[in-house]
Amino acid sequence: MPYNQEFIHALIVDDQKCIRCTHCVKICPTEAIRIVNGSVVIREERCVDCGECVRACPQGAIDIDHDDLSRINEYKNKVILFPSVFWAQFPDRLSEDQVYTALQKIGFTHVYEVEQPIAVLKNVVRKQIKSNQSEYPIISSFCPAIVRLIQIRYPSLTENITRVKAPHDLSAHYILDKLSADGLDPAETGVFYVTPCVAKIAAVKSPVGENRSIITGVISPKDLFNKVMSIVDDIQAEDCRYLRKELTKEGIQWSLTHGETWWQNTRTMAVDGIHNAIKILERIENDEIAGIDFLELRACDRSCAAGVLLPQNRFLTVEKLKRRAKRYPSAEKKSQTEGDERFMHLESKVLTGEINPRPLLRFGSDMEMAMSRMQRARNIMCHLPGIDCAACGAPTCQALAEDMANRKAKMSDCIFIQQLWQKNGKVPAEKAFKRMEKKWGEKRFDPDCTKIGAKNETNR
């Protein structure tokens, strides 16, 4: 089925704040970032929205495309859908009810935590593991950055990604069904999702294996956190326990590392951190890991507790959620006592369509041409210094060679080659400097005391 195959990204680089320090260029796991003519350029076909660049940026210059809180006023029924990790951002002195009440006071008419109908996911994933015929393990579709990483770098593994919706999408269905059963008009209902990370924003904007998400908008947790904190001490908490009655141990810990594996009785493995995930995917693809039934992969170290948009420390978030989970019943027990009937209708909605591979062919899709370009890149590598300084605007010498082979960069982009050419009298110093300014921006090399670590550091 033809699904929306375009990646829509949620990253916006602020050229005014960016000082072209190359931290993002070097950290990007798919080598998607370059500096071109004094600006950061993100190559869309390569970006998997993992958000590592946002984390690495010392200037806070990479912004996230999210909705303004005021957008909720366009709807009569204002639904907030927030993940458990968001609740864990608040200090211990605040109770669950205080946070819930504050969110209602901010204007939300319906307050829900994402991880409520998790029993459905558990059941469906179990079935998919059981019916897996392939030699590879079933891979969780939970982390959208991982799904996109597999699409571009491990295309042969896309078939093994679980075809289930993300919890936020499933929850939105659950809530909308509930509200329309109560007689509320879906057209007057806006579902706003508080997202911990960049990948989930991108997943709402262009979901993989689906045409569109039913989420109305995404809200930055930082803005909302500040808003709650500014009013929470002046309000009287109301009893909101009825809003959390579907919450379970499994649900609360779902987005943490091992959240999808600890309750399973098959052979599972949980890996967090995108570079760790890459190492494991590489070995899975090589058939070097046998016998694993289910693989949970998360792009962030400590999973969603480390969501790049969350203000709190990831380890404190994990500890707080683990503590919280102890107070809740297990989904297993709940389905024994209460049954899962109220979720049954969701089972038909939980599945997504096919996840298509989108192999990243660095030298183009024509094999003959790709070969000649690859050979060119290898010849160029003989001349580059192999220092991987990123002063050319590419993350490594090999990436520069690749760009040159694809006619997207020049030998003169390398500052060491420039030096060599000057020494050999090939290029006058003046011209070499002009080239550097073209790459990094005019006056980029004038003294500037406002930079980090300089005399008058400025918080830009």
Binding site for other proteins (CB under 8 A): 155-156, 285-287, 359, 361-363, 365, 367-368, 370-371, 374-375, 378
| Spatial strand order in the sheet of 138-139 | 138-139, 294-298, 268-272
Nearer to other proteins, 58 or 359 (CB): 359
Smallest distance from other proteins to CB 360, Å: 8
Nearer to other proteins, 95 or 375 (CB): 375
DSSP 412: G
DSSP 391: T
Measured CA to CA, the distance from residue 181 to residue 262 in angstroms comes to: 34
Of 255, 331, 108, nearest in space to 99 by CA? 108
Q: What type of residue is 64?
A: I
Smallest distance from other proteins to CB 5, Å: 18
DSSP 246: T
Measured CA to CA, the distance from residue 249 to residue 253 in angstroms comes to: 6
Nearer to other proteins, 286 or 337 (CB): 286
Smallest distance from other proteins to CB 284, Å: 12
- Strand partners of residue 39: 36
**Side-chain half-sphere CA neighbours of 32 within 13 A:** 21
Contacts of 159 (CB under 8 A, 6+ apart): 134, 355
Smallest distance from other proteins to CB 375, Å: 5
Smallest distance from other proteins to CB 156, Å: 4
DSSP 243: G
Four-residue CA torsion sign, 34, 37, 40, 45 = negative
Q: What type of residue is 70?
A: S
Q: Beta-carbon neighbour count of residue 318 at 10 Å?
A: 20
Smallest distance from other proteins to CB 371, Å: 5
DSSP 183: T
Nearer to other proteins, 37 or 156 (CB): 156
Contacts of 141 (CB under 8 A, 6+ apart): 147, 161, 162, 163, 164, 166, 352, 355
Nearer to other proteins, 286 or 456 (CB): 286
Asked whether the beta carbons of 200 and 144 are under 8 A apart, the reply is yes
Smallest distance from other proteins to CB 163, Å: 20
Smallest distance from other proteins to CB 97, Å: 53
Nearer to other proteins, 231 or 367 (CB): 367
Asked whether the beta carbons of 11 and 198 are under 8 A apart, the reply is yes
Smallest distance from other proteins to CB 367, Å: 5
Measured CA to CA, the distance from residue 334 to residue 221 in angstroms comes to: 30
**Cα-flanking dihedrals φ and ψ of residue 298, to 5°?**
-130, 140
Measured CA to CA, the distance from residue 7 to residue 193 in angstroms comes to: 20
Nearer to other proteins, 202 or 278 (CB): 278
Nearer to other proteins, 230 or 375 (CB): 375
Smallest distance from other proteins to CB 362, Å: 5
Matching residue, tokens 């050979």: 375
- Strand partners of residue 296: 270
Nearer to other proteins, 374 or 432 (CB): 374
Nearer to other proteins, 13 or 150 (CB): 150
First to last CA, the chain: 47
Nearer to other proteins, 285 or 332 (CB): 285
- Strand partners of residue 112: 81
**Cα-flanking dihedrals φ and ψ of residue 4, to 5°?**
-60, 105
Smallest distance from other proteins to CB 368, Å: 5
